[in-house]
Structure 1
Amino acid sequence: MTPSTANILTLSDEILLNIFNKLDNMDVLYSIIGVNRILDRVARDTSFTQSLNFLKILDNTNNLKINFILDRFCLDIIPRIKHSIKCLTIDLFSIDRVLRIGNYPQLRKLTLNNVQR
C-alpha cells in the first residue's frame, strides 16, 4: 500500500468551506487563522466571522488555557476579522478584553451574559 499524497491545501475553497461549516466557528477561527495564506483566507469567510460566542471558551475549566485562548482571539484573530463581526456574545470574564480591541463597524447585536449592573 502506498502512502497517500492528498493534501488539504489542494481542495477548492468551496470544499474547504463545506468541511469547516461542519465545525464550530470559534474552533475554526482559533485553529486555522494564521496557519497559512490559503486556510486563513477561507477561515475569514463571513460564515465564520459574523457571530462570535465567547461563552464556548469558558466551557474549559482551566483558567490558564482560557486566558491563552482569549489572548489569541484578542491579539491576533479579532483584529483581522472585526470588520465583519455582526454579533458578539460575551461575559464578565471576556468583556473587557474583547471590547477594548476597537470599533466593530458591522456589530448589530451584543449579548452580555453573567454581567451584573
Structure 2
Amino acid sequence: MDVLYSLLDVDNQRLDTIVQEKTFTNTLNFVLTTITDDVLSIADSILDRFCISILPKINYNVKSLILESESMECILLATDYSKLTELKLYNVNDHIVSRYFTDESPFRRIFQEQITDLILVYNSDTDMLLMNPNTKYVYEYTLKLFENLKHFTVIGCVQLLSIDDLASTTWLSLNLNKLCVDVCGFEDCLALLDGRLKQLTTFIVNIDSPDDDLSTIYNIDDLPNMKYFSLTCRCPTSEYDTRVLPLLCRMRKLEELALNITQANMIINHFNQSM
C-alpha cells in the first residue's frame, strides 16, 4: 500500500510498471490498527487518491481486499475487480449487514459470483441491547448472498449462531469447506454437521452453552471430509463422554484436532497434528 501510494504516478514509467506488478497489488490492506487494537480506515485523503487514481490502474491484479466497513462502499465502487475472491471486513455491525448483504446490495454481483473467502470481524463495542433484531439473520443473509463461499469466518459477533430450530435447507452449502463460528449450544454444532455442509473439511467452533437440551435427532453419519476440527467450550465430564467423544468418532479421517475444554476446575488442552 505504501509503495503504491508513494511511487505510482510520479512521472516515472519504469516505477509505474514495477509497482503495478502482482507483488504489490494482489492483496490490498486499507485498515490501520492502533496501539489499543482499534481498527480504523486509512486517512480520507489517501483513500480518495486510491479510489480516484490508483485502483482503476491496478484493479485487474487485485485478489484480496482488507477493508474497514465504513470505507467499503467507496473502495468497491471505485472500479471493477474481476479477480477479487477474498474479502476481510472489519468493524462489521448489523447496519452494514442489513444494507449490503441483501439482494439490493450495490455489490450483489461481486458478492454473489466472485467472493469465495469471507472474514467478518465485528465491532467489539457493539451493544447487544441496541442491536437490530435482524442481526440474528446475519449468517443466513451471508450464505444466501455469497453463493460461492468456500471459507467463512465470523469473529466477535455478539449474536451467536443458532440454527437448531431452523430447516436443514437454511444453512445448506455445497461449496463451503472451512467454517469458523461461535454457536449457542451443542445442538447447533450437531445441526451444522448433519449433512447440510457436505464439503466441510475445516470446522473451528466455540460453543457457548454445550449443556443445552438435545431436543432434535440429527443425522450422525460419518464426516469423511473433515480434516481439521477445533472445539472450544465449557463441558462437564458427562457431557464430554456423551457428546464430544461420539462427535469425534464420526471424523474418522481427521488429520488435526484442537480441543480447549473446561471441565469444572480442570482445563483440557489438546492439539494433535496427526490423528
Fold conserved (TM > 0.5)? yes
Q: Which amino acid is 2:7 matched to?
A: I
Instruction: Tell whether 2:105 aligns with 1:105.
Output: no
CA distance in 2, matches of 1:108, 1:96: 17
CA distance in 2, matches of 1:41, 1:29: 11
Q: Which amino acid is 1:54 matched to?
A: F
CA RMSD of aligned residues (A): 1.8
Q: Which amino acid is 1:93 matched to?
A: E
CA distance in 2, matches of 1:89, 1:72: 17
1:52 alignment counterpart: 28
Candidates 65, 70, 73, aligned match of 1:88 = 65
Q: Which amino acid is 2:81 matched to?
A: Y
Q: How many residues align?
A: 87
Name the SS for the 2:92 alignment partner: coil
- How far apart are residue 94 of structure 1 and its match? 1.4
Q: Which has the larger share of strand?
A: 2
CA distance in 2, matches of 1:49, 1:88: 10
Deviations 1:77-105 (Å, cap 9, x if unpaired)?
Answer: 10000110000010123111101113210
Instruction: Tell whether 2:5 aligns with 1:30.
Output: yes
Deviations 1:4-41 (Å, cap 9, x if unpaired)?
Answer: xxxxxxxxxxxxxxxxxxxxxx0000000101211110
- How far apart are residue 54 of structure 1 and its match? 0.3
Rg (Cα) greater in structure: 2
TM-score, structure 1 length as denominator?
0.69
Instruction: Tell whether 2:94 aligns with 1:114.
Output: no
The within-5 A match list for 1:2-41 is: 26-35=1-10, 36-41=12-17
Q: Which has the larger share of helix?
A: 1
TM-score, structure 2 length as denominator?
0.30
- How far apart are residue 110 of structure 1 and its match? 0.8
Q: Which amino acid is 2:86 matched to?
A: K
Unmatched tracts of structure 2, length 5 or more: 35-41, 95-275
Unmatched tracts of structure 1, length 5 or more: 1-25, 60-64
Name the SS for the 2:6 alignment partner: helix
Q: Which amino acid is 1:31 matched to?
A: S
Name the SS for the 1:93 alignment partner: helix
Q: Which amino acid is 1:68 matched to?
A: S
- The share of aligned pairs that are identical, in percent, is 40
